[in-house]
Amino acid sequence: MGRPGGDSVRKEWQTLELCDRFFDSIERNDYETLESCYAPEAVIWHSHDCLYQSRADNLAMLKAGMETLPKVRFKDRRIRVFEGGFVQQHTIYVTRANGFVGQMDVCFVGYVRDGMISRAYEYFDTGRITKFLG
Amino acid sequence: MDQYEIRELCEQFFDAYENRRVDLLDRIYSDDCIIWHNVFGRETTRDENLAALPDSYKGQRRRTYDDRIVNTFHDGFVIQYSLDGVQNTGHRGSLWICIVARCRDGKITRIDEYMDSSKFAAWAGREGTR
């Protein structure tokens, strides 16, 4: 018999690892790894338009960011894992081509299937968009 | 606290908010509870939060906390929901909000609230009047 809670502990660790891999891949401009974090049916919801974005559109947006933004960092990451997913709170810092460093507080809720993100919800305040865009 | 107790505490919290039961909220917040709001970028104390509630309720005849999606973890919960309000003018509006809470000994010790302030005017029926 395995240790009590062994499966759930392993699953929790795998979800934490997925969460780190996802955000680290964006920081490192590692598109291949980023893409592998999303399940084929993945959709991403954003609080500014309350719409689900397709996997392809979201990846295209993130890829464009990788190609144009000098630096992206997710700092003060606070992660909690729940059955079927995770929530990460962070502050994203984006260095723009003109040197401006924008920042935004974000809450990202990810739902996980077979080790991949199948659905995600991203909450942030566009009322503070000038602090982010410059 | 186990996940059932945390889930129950979460429901009690939102039911109390919905029913304007500041007395119940007072019991649900721990003495050292902190509430952080992304739209202000700062923390408030439990007493500041409770003191602000009666005035915050005045603008609406009804508020409901709907479509609650609750997920629990070892020391808290995350809830995604819509705040549906009927203003005194009759205007109806919705806000989509996410809260991450920490819990201890049957109480909430910290709340981090994420919403989009650019939707406040539409929620309150003040679009075009700013």
Question: What is the pLDDT, as a whole number, of residue A40?
Answer: 98
Strands A38-46 and A51-54: antiparallel
**Residue written as token pair 């000098």:** A70
CA distance A107 to chain B (A): 7
Question: What is the pLDDT, as a whole number, of residue B127?
Answer: 75
Q: How far, in Å, CA of A30 to CA of A44, rounded? A: 19
Averaged confidence pLDDT in chain B? 95
Q: How far, in Å, CA of B25 to CA of B41, rounded? A: 23
> For chains A and B, what is the number of CB pairs under 8 angstroms?
74
Q: Indicate if ipTM > 0.85.
A: yes
Contact (CB, 8 A) for B87 and B60: yes
Question: Taking CB atoms and an 8 Å limit, are A125 and B39 in contact across chains?
Answer: yes
Q: What is the mean pLDDT of residues A4-16?
A: 83
Beta-carbon contacts of residue B61 (< 8 Å; ≥ 6 apart): B86, B87, B88
**Confidence category of residue B14, pLDDT binned at 50, 70, 90:** very high
Averaged confidence pLDDT in chain A? 94
Question: What are the backbone angles phi and psi of residue B10, rounded to the nearest 5°?
Answer: -60, -45
Question: Taking CB atoms and an 8 Å limit, are B71 and A83 in contact across chains?
Answer: yes
CA distance A127 to chain B (A): 5
Taking only the tens place, the pLDDT of each residue in A79-113 is 999 999 999 999 999 999 999 999 999 999 999 99
Closest partner residue to B38 (CB to CB) among A82, A83, A125 is A125
Taking only the tens place, the pLDDT of each residue in B82-129 is 999 999 999 999 999 999 999 999 999 999 999 999 999 999 998 764
Taking only the tens place, the pLDDT of each residue in A13-34 is 999 999 999 999 999 999 999 9
Beta-carbon contacts of residue B13 (< 8 Å; ≥ 6 apart): B25, B28, B101, B108
CA distance B77 to chain A (A): 9
Question: What is the pLDDT, as a whole number, of residue A2?
Answer: 42
Q: Extract the tokens encoding B130.
A: 């700013």
Question: Taking CB atoms and an 8 Å limit, are B73 and A80 in contact across chains?
Answer: yes
Partners of A5 on chain B (C-beta within 8 Å) are none
Among the CATH numbers 3.10.450.50, 3.20.20.140, 1.10.3720.10, 2.60.40.2470, which is that of B3-123? 3.10.450.50
All structural domains of chain B with their residue ranges: 3-123
Assign A127 to helix, strand or coil: helix
Q: Where are the beta strands (DSSP E) in A1-134?
A: 38-46, 51-54, 71-82, 85-95, 101-113, 116-123
CA distance B30 to chain A (A): 21
| Domains, in order of start, for chain A | 6-133 (3.10.450.50)
Partners of B71 on chain A (C-beta within 8 Å) are 82-85, 87, 109
Question: What is the pLDDT, as a whole number, of residue A5?
Answer: 66
